[in-house]
Chains A and B, each alone.
Chain A
Amino acid sequence: MADPASSRAQPSGATGVLVLADGTVIWGRGFGAAGSAVGEVCFNTAMTGYQEVMTDPSYAAQIVTFTFPHIGNVGANAEDVESRVEGAVGCIVREDVTEPSNFRSIERFGEWLARNGKIGLSGVDTRALTRRIRQSGAPNAVIAHAPDGKFDIPALLKRAKDWPGLEGMDLAIRVTREGQEGWEGGYWRLGHGYGRAARDATPHVVAVDYGAKDNIFRNLVRAGARVTVVPAKTSFDEVMALKPDGVFLSNGPGDPAATGEYAVPVIKALLDADVPLFGICLGHQMLALAAGAKTIKMHQGHRGANHPVQRVGEGWGETTGLVEITSMNHGFAVDAASLPENVEQTHVSLFDGTNCGIAIKGKKAFAVQYHPEASPGPQDSFYLFEKFVGGLG
């Protein structure tokens, strides 16, 4: 009997394929880099900002399904980049990428992907794929692009099946910086591009990079801080040696439990030393774990640039109950029921009530599950950077 995979008739003109670990084969047209890559298939519902998504280290070892059908319209440029390290390994889109049309574009999205070793697959019913992910979880898969249309489906299937998956995988260590770096970029303005950071600014924020998006640092600079970025495994003593006024805990990819093994003890020590802390996404989960709370795998993750989050609890004054529209990308959440008495819930998701923010009582330490740095997404939550930087020194 022939391998069942060989019966998955390849349509003429198919130069790309997605092979899921369960044997499903989805044909399409390849673009970007040629070759194949293994990863977890996830989705993002933002309608703008594909270049930022593809360079977000939180998407390391992931293949992003864009739910918006036209991706690549505005081409690629040198500015809309969120890190210099590995982001998503590939992307799946409904429509073939078109010639770009935007005054900021300097190259085609496909060329940019190819230059960055990322694989694209178009001509896929991305809505059907998204619904499948919603219903049965993010599958492991291989994305492949062969301009000659030749694929060894059984081999690709074996690779998808053999891949261990993200669970238990410490990806932060793969995407973090190797050494410390004085952050020099400012924030972006139309017609001006990125500014420069004032290196003599105070206060001084040490940012721990678990796979950070650059826009976080730009926002810290915008809020008035001088930023030094340090690798994920920087020890408590090494952090303190930099004489920080506050420490920032970044977002990042992978399983929080795996990263937490080395990150949590450092954060505990920082808390004990009363160092002001601010965390985002994975950094939020790390802070919660350090404070004694638990994280849980969500029944349904949040992945878009349109999620409402509400301010709750004490300390908001007149703005209690205000709603922010936020960018989100997480499949784990802090279990609100597990918060110790000294930890206050500050933000909740209006979609499902899951925890979206915490503050440690009596300390200048807080964190949010979502992405106030936006990029892509709404910029409603910039105030968090001001709150953090403004409260230092």
Chain B
Amino acid sequence: MPKRTDISSILVIGAGPIIIGQACEFDYSGTQAIKALKEEGYRVILVNSNPATIMTDPEFADATYIEPITPEIVAKIIAKERPDALLPTMGGQTALNCALKLDEMGVLAEYGVEMIGAKADAIDKAENRQRFRDAMDKIGLESARSGVANTVDEAFAILERTGLPSIIRPSFTLGGTGGGIAYNKAEFEKIVREGLDASPTTEVLIEESLLGWKEFEMEVVRDRKDNAIIVCSIENVDPMGVHTGDSITVAPALTLTDKEYQIMRNASIACLREIGVETGGSNVQFAVNPRDGRLIVIEMNPRVSRSSALASKATGFPIARVAAKLAVGYTLDELTNEITGATPASFEPTIDYVVTKIPRFAFEKFKGAANDLSTAMKSVGEVMAIGRNFQESMQKALRGLETGLDGFNRVPELEGVSRDVITAALSRRTPDRLLKVGQAFREGMSVEEIAAVTFYDPWFLRQIEAIIAAEREVQKDGLPIDAPGLRRLKAMGFSDKRLATLAVRSVGVAGGLAETQARRSGLLHDALVAMAGATSEEEVRALRHRLGVLPVFKRIDSCAAEFEAITPYMYSTYEAPSFGVSGSIGPECEAYPSDRRKIVILGGGPNRIGQGIEFDYCCVHACFALGEEWHGPAFETIMVNCNPETVSTDYDTSDRLYFEPLTAEDVLEILRVEQQSGELVGVIVQFGGQTPLKLAQALEDAGIPILGTSPDAIDLAEDRERFAKLVSKLKLQQPDNGIARSRDEAAAVAARIGYPVLLRPSYVLGGRAMEIVDSEAQLDDYIATAVNVSGDSPVLIDQYLRDAIECDVDAVCDGNEVRIAGVMQHIEEAGVHSGDSACTLPPYSLPPEIIAEMERQAEGLAFALGVKGLMNVQFAVKDGTVYLIEVNPRASRTVPFVAKATGQPVAKIAARVMAGEPLSSFEPFRRDLPYMSVKEAVFPFARFPGADPILSPEMKSTGEVMGIDTSFEAAFLKSQIGAGMKLPRAGTLFVSVKDTDKAAIVPAVRRLIDHGFTVIATGGTQTYLAEQGLAVERVNKVAEGQPHIVDKIIDGEVALIFNTTEGWQSLMDSKSIRQAALAGKVPYYTTAAASLAAAAAIATVGPEQLEVRSLQDYYAQ
């Protein structure tokens, strides 16, 4: 059936900010969908509050609304734009829930908007636990014994049937928030209460435990003619009990016979048919009893998902693109797979490699939270790796994770310990359980013993056992001296670095000692090399190249080479040569590098806190800008990345895509092949965050040209001592600072500067382990932690500018000219990590001369550093003085926000500048903006019970939203709504602020009292506010006994909280207030500046007064 002509405009709802469970995979899907719909000539209207997305680039949709994704706001967009249809399946749970609500509110009926992709009833049937269960019963698919409860009593009644352990899943929550596994009745009651609370419908599903069963997922696409195909099967290495987003998974399923696989295939399709998913992609999850194959349906998602993004990348089948085409009436038989150009969309992909996904976690950011994995998702990113076998795929994934692993690294705390200790460690579902499995093999445990505790399928365990056995050989004998021997190891996925580590150990002295010796030059080193084969990554590489053991590149073609495909999508592997009549025919490589002028862009790897979608956005823009003619010729763009959630790894973002780990070894092998033909103009390492920057040295050493700002200049900016020299040369002012390599040195420096001081280890991203300390005692405590974090690297000590205003300046420089792209003023005062601060563009309260001074300093720095491309400078303004905080002569997190707020393609222009074009070719940046944009950070605290939900110099946010409007107050309010804060219109305000904030908070409190709020405060604050003539009631601090403030919060008597603290003790004391607020979903502000902004927003604009306007409209002003 051809596309529908009875609809001409379509509203697409995005997923909003990056949060745990909903990351940039929805930007990937949404971007694909919008392109697919535009191709068909539809007018596309988009709403998404996340400015760091590619989909919100103004050239994608016809009308782009960066507005909060709430039913009320989207209703206003519908009223304004009058779309014919609404596509709710591209924006995760956020979009589905919003669409359901719009349907319920009658908005869709009122404006005649048809839901396409999935109907409201189908969504409800899939998401409502009881209806889903009934539907599965109807088609004869078994579900786990379970029941739905709306109260704790009902839950206990169901428990009689299901027994313990029991799984609790709240309805309609993201990534299973609020769910868990209960092993006893007390736990059961606790989790049920939390689940009922987390569920917007106060509903939980209580299920029999399938712990230890195997878990599978099927990615299905179905059209309105009832054609259905399976795009990919996925098997979880972690069995049931760990959320699939937190599980290590492989594709395709590896432990099923065809008969079992077909049962699952039939069941998946039957499930979509019964639920009524008429057009698009869905995923169905199954549990399989490993003892008898009994199959149980767990759940289905009637939309594209994280798994569908993974499946698309794993197979070369663009699920979101196809789903969008199906939603507008096409059927599968009418579509071709644009990636391969050779296969129809109705072709079920088959693969000839193994794909592994490993999630990446951030528990270290949330002290106090246990790192146990359960049914609520906690990971913040993931890596995907492709290999020709499980071992290669798995070991590539481990090194691509960038958590310091080169493969199955040792787990020192399990070395030489008793079986009981190892067994206990294995029984906990922790993020590093896979490595513990490897260690258990080293400690002599058997496959059967490990399987009995972990329930990992023995097949996976034997593969890991073989890796450990191979490691043992290298440790014993050193590296093989012949090509087949070394090739065998490389084909198992061992990195050069891991092999070097293992080889050194073969020398027979203690590993650490040998490594130290090996690093020394001279005869000893030569002797060690002679014994081990090689002792460093570089030496292993040299040996490998000498023996001719090189990786080849294979293509992802969706058909296992059955047909000729054009896919420029590749991965590396090690293959054996074959022999023709006249001798060896080398292993077959399908890279076929072109003869063009090419630029390689290195991506950012797995998402983590501090390095996420913003950097991928920059990489994508580099691809877009360089791949086409623009004041200069087009280049061939080559993308290297290993994050399956991203737009950068979409098939049409770059000309060629290598899905590979971002390590020196893997990248250098790609460059070796690309340099065989054409001209490598250079590599861009400055757009993907720290990940590619770390490779700069290795690339330079290998003689690879690096585009733009030199890595040395980047190093200069990050090296405190070198940078301090530059600053003094430029006569700029930095907060007083020093550097210390010991505890005593640190104490001396801090005493010289004066407390409070800001402490941090060098070379980190996202401000990990930064802390403000007020006393020498706290400093001692910090030193212990910091040294753990950064090994023997020094500790940096800064004067802490209390209550200073922090600013970001983004600029582009070509060597001759500097152009300021945007100046941002933070709302939270200096000391809160810039990634966690809200900020405005343009600045909302800075005098023009201060802005001019910051611009002047930024310009001077750009020239002095020799910046060619992007630069970000952070300043702090205190008492009219501008202090330079830091310079990042590379892409920064703020780039997409600046681009969205100003309507300028900043990253694109920077990429062209890096390739040699002068800034003068481009239109000047627009600086006089007749509107205000506010960026707000979004936090995952609710996922980490036990951690203190407070802002600090350590970055904790996972994503950001933007509010845009003509006034600061309205834009700020939008940013808060977009971030999920429901600001109250009336009720009780609780205030408890530190002494230095008491004067500052007065206007905010007065404003809210005038607006009708009643105010309560703890002792000191109450006294101070009362002295100012404000009617404020006193409430007990927690330490003062019950009833105290936390009781009031729990009882729902508090609507809004202003709570600022400083100093170790008061921070500890107030933790329970913040945790209660988080649990009770009470909006709370932990800085005076943000409290003022919130009060202003509440007092000035009611949410119903907010108006919606498209970016295109703003830019046209």
Binding site for B on A (CB under 8 A): 4, 7-9, 11-13, 22-28, 43, 45-49, 51-52, 67-70, 73-74, 77, 79-80, 94-95, 98-104, 123-128, 130-131, 134, 188, 190-191, 300, 302-308, 310, 321-323, 325, 350-351, 374-379
Contacts of B578 in A (CB 8 A): 24-27, 124-125, 128
State the CA gap A108–B655 with chains docked (Å): 45
The stretch from B458-466, B645-653, B792-800, B1100-1108 touching chain A is B458-466
The answer to whether A127 touches B588 (Cβ under 8 A) is yes
**Highest count of chain B CB atoms <10 Å: which of A47, A49, A67, A302:** A47
A307-B588 contact given A25-B579, A68-B560, A101-B458, CB 8 Å threshold: no
**Chain B residue at smallest Cβ distance from A12:** B484
Which residues of chain B are near A94, meaning CB under 8 Å? Answer: 352, 388-389
Collect the chain B residues with CB atoms within 8 Å of residue A80's CB: 257-259
User: In the complex, what residues of B have CB within 8 A of residue A130's CB?
Assistant: 352, 560-562
B462 engages A128 (CB within 8 Å):
no
A206 CA to B265 CA in the complex, in Å? 31
Q: Is the pair B458, A350 in contact by a Cβ cutoff of 8 Å? A: no
Residues of A within 8 A of B255 (CB): 73-74, 101-102
Which residue of chain A lies nearest to B564 when distances are taken between CB atoms in the complex?
Answer: A134
Q: Residues of A contacting B226 with CB < 8 Å?
A: 322
Cα–Cα, bound, A73→B346 (Å): 28
Which residues of the partner chain A approach B581 to less than 8 Å between Cβ atoms?
Answer: 4, 22-24
Q: Is the CB of A308 within 8 A of B562?
A: no
Query: Are the C-beta atoms of B354 and A190 separated by less than 8 Å?
Result: no
CA separation between A52 and B260, bound complex, in Å? 13
Task: Judge whether B344 and A308 touch: CB under 8 Å.
Answer: yes
Q: Whole-angstrom distance between the alpha carbons of A74 and B214 in the complex?
A: 14
Q: How far does the Cβ of A54 sit from chain B's closest Cβ, in whole Å?
A: 12
Contact of B260 among A22, A100, A124, A190 (CB under 8 A): A190
B635 interface hit (Cβ, 8 Å): no
Do the beta carbons of B583 and A323 come within 8 Å of each other?
no
B353 touches A99 (CB 8 A): no
Chain B contact surface mostly: loop
Q: Given the known A-B contacts A48-B257, A350-B344, are A70 and B583 also in contact in the complex, defined by CB atoms under 8 Å?
A: no
Q: Which of B285-293, B496-504, B767-775 contacts A (4 or more CB under 8 A)?
A: B285-293
A9 pairs with B294, CB closer than 8 A: no
B850 CB–A CB distance under 8 Å:
no
Residues on B with C-beta less than 8 A from A4 are 581-582
B350 near A103: Cβ-Cβ < 8 Å: no
Of B554, B562, B575, B582, which contacts A304 at CB under 8 A?
Answer: B562
In the complex, are the beta carbons of B588 and A27 less than 8 A apart? no
Set of chain A residues within 8 Å of B225, measured between Cβ atoms: 321-323
Can you list 24 contacts pairing A with B, beta carbon distance less than 8 Å?
A8-B583, A23-B581, A43-B562, A45-B350, A45-B352, A45-B562, A51-B257, A70-B354, A94-B388, A95-B388, A98-B462, A100-B459, A101-B255, A125-B578, A127-B561, A130-B562, A134-B563, A191-B292, A306-B347, A306-B350, A375-B259, A376-B262, A377-B262, A379-B265
Contacts of B458 in A (CB 8 A): 99, 101
User: 1/0 per residue B318-356: CB within 8 Å of A?
Assistant: 000000000000011100000000011011111111100
Residues of B with C-beta under 8 A to A350 = 333, 344, 346-347
Per the bound structure, the CA–CA distance linking A130 and B253 in Å amounts to: 22
CA distance A51 to B462 in the complex (A): 22
Residue pair B257, A104 in contact (C-beta under 8 Å): yes
Q: Does B256 contact A (CB under 8 A)?
A: yes
Number of B interface residues, CB 8 Å? 68
Question: What residues of chain B lie closer than 8 Å to A95, measured between beta carbons?
Answer: 388-389
For A7, give its contact among B257, B290, B583, B585 (CB under 8 Å).
B583
Chain B residues with Cβ under 8 A from A67's Cβ? 350, 352, 560-562
Chain A CB within 8 A of B102 CB? no
Q: Which residues of B contact A (CB under 8 A)?
A: 225-227, 229-230, 252-263, 265-266, 290-295, 331-333, 343-344, 346-354, 388-390, 457-459, 462-463, 482, 484, 554, 559-564, 575-576, 578-585, 587-588
> Are B457 and A101 neighbours in the complex by a CB distance under 8 Å?
yes
Q: What residues on A are CB-neighbors of B585 within 8 Å? A: 24
**Are B561 and A131 in contact (CB-based, < 8 A)?**
yes
State the Cβ distance, B335 to closest chain A Cβ, in Å.
Answer: 10
Which B residues lie within 8 Å of A303 (CB)?
562
Our count of residue pairs bridging A and B at CB distance below 8 angstroms stands at 208
- Contact among A190, A302, A308, A310 for B259, CB-based, below 8 A: A190
Bound state CA distance, A79 and B260, in angstroms?
12
Q: Which residue of B lies closest to A101 (CB)?
A: B459
Among the listed A9, A73, A128, which residue makes an inter-chain contact with B579, where contact means beta carbons less than 8 Å apart?
Answer: A9
- The verdict on A127 contacting B576 (CB below 8 Å), with A101-B255, A378-B348 known, is no
State how many angstroms separate the Cβ of B815 from the closest Cβ of chain A. 47
In-complex Cβ contact of A69 among B344, B352, B584 (8 A): B352
Closest residue on chain A to residue B463 by CB atoms? A98
Nearest CB to that of A76 among chain B residues?
B257
CB–CB A69/B484 < 8 A: no
- Closest Cβ–Cβ distance, residue B255 to chain A (whole Å): 5
Q: Which residue of chain A lies nearest to B251 when distances are taken between CB atoms in the complex?
A: A47
Complex Cα gap A188–B293 (Å) = 14
Structural contact, B389 and A69, CB atoms closer than 8 A: yes
User: Least Cβ distance of A71 to chain B in Å?
Assistant: 11
Contact B348 A70 (CB under 8 A): no
B559 touches A304 (CB 8 A): yes
- The listed residue (A9, A11, A190) touching B295 by CB distance below 8 A is A190
Find the A residue at minimum CB distance from B466: A98
What distance in Å separates the Cβ of B441 from its nearest Cβ neighbour in chain A? 15
In Å, the complex CA distance between A62 and B700 comes to 52
In the complex, what residues of A have CB within 8 A of residue B560's CB? 45, 67-68, 127, 130, 304
Q: How far is the CB of B316 from chain A (nearest CB, A)?
A: 13
Which residues from B are CB-within-8-Å of A27? 576, 578-579
A131 and B564 alpha carbons, distance in the complex (Å): 8
4 further contact pairs, Cβ within 8 A, besides A98-B459, A308-B332: A128-B588, A322-B227, A325-B229, A376-B258
Report chain B residues within 8 Å CB of A70.
254, 354, 389-390
Contact of B343 with A351 in the complex, beta carbons under 8 Å: yes
Chain A residues lying within 8 Å of B256, measured Cβ to Cβ, are 48, 74, 102
A45-B560, A48-B258 given as contacts; is B347 within 8 A of A126 (CB)? Answer: no
Q: Name the distance in Å between B400's Cβ and chain A's nearest Cβ.
A: 20
Q: Find out whether the CB atom of A308 lies under 8 angstroms from the CB atom of B351.
A: no
Max chain B Cβ within 10 angstroms of own Cβ: one of A7, A124, A130, A351: A351
Give complex CA distance A325, B261 in Å.
14
Q: Looking at the assembled complex, report how far the CB atom of A376 sits from the nearest CB atom of chain B, in whole angstroms.
A: 4
Contact B580 A23 (CB under 8 A): yes
Complex contact A52–B462 (CB within 8 A): no
Contacts of A74 in B (CB 8 A): 255-257
Contact between chains at A374 and B262 (CB < 8 Å): yes
What is the chain A residue whose CB lies nearest that of B484? Answer: A11
Q: How far is the CB of B949 from chain A (nearest CB, A)?
A: 44
Q: Which of these, B290, B333, B351, B352, contacts A321 with CB under 8 Å?
A: B333
How far apart are B607's CB and chain A's nearest CB, in angstroms?
29
Contact B252 A191 (CB under 8 A): no
Contacts of B295 in A (CB 8 A): 190
Judging by beta carbons under 8 Å apart, are A304 and B261 in contact?
no
What is the distance, in angstroms, from B559's C-beta to the closest C-beta of chain A? 7
CA distance A134 to B557 in the complex (A): 14
| Distance of A25 Cα from B255 Cα, bound (Å) | 32
- Please name all residues of chain A whose beta carbon is closer than 8 Å to the beta carbon of B261 when the two chains form the complex: 48
Chain B residues contacting A375 (CB-CB under 8 Å) are 258-259
Minimal Cβ-Cβ distance residue in B for A94 = B388
Of A24, A102, A378, the residue contacting B262 (CB under 8 A) is: A378
CB atoms of A307 and B254 under 8 A apart: no
Q: Given the complex, which residues of B lie within 8 Å of A51, measured CB to CB?
A: 257
Cα distance, A51 to B261, chains bound together (Å)? 14
Q: Distance (Å) between the CB of B289 and the closest chain A CB?
A: 8
In angstroms, Cα B581 to Cα A4, docked, is: 6
Given A22-B581, A69-B352, A351-B343: A125 in contact with B576 (beta carbons within 8 A): yes
Contact of B462 among A26, A99, A191, A305 (CB under 8 A): A99
Nearest neighbor of A188 in chain B, beta-carbon distance: B259
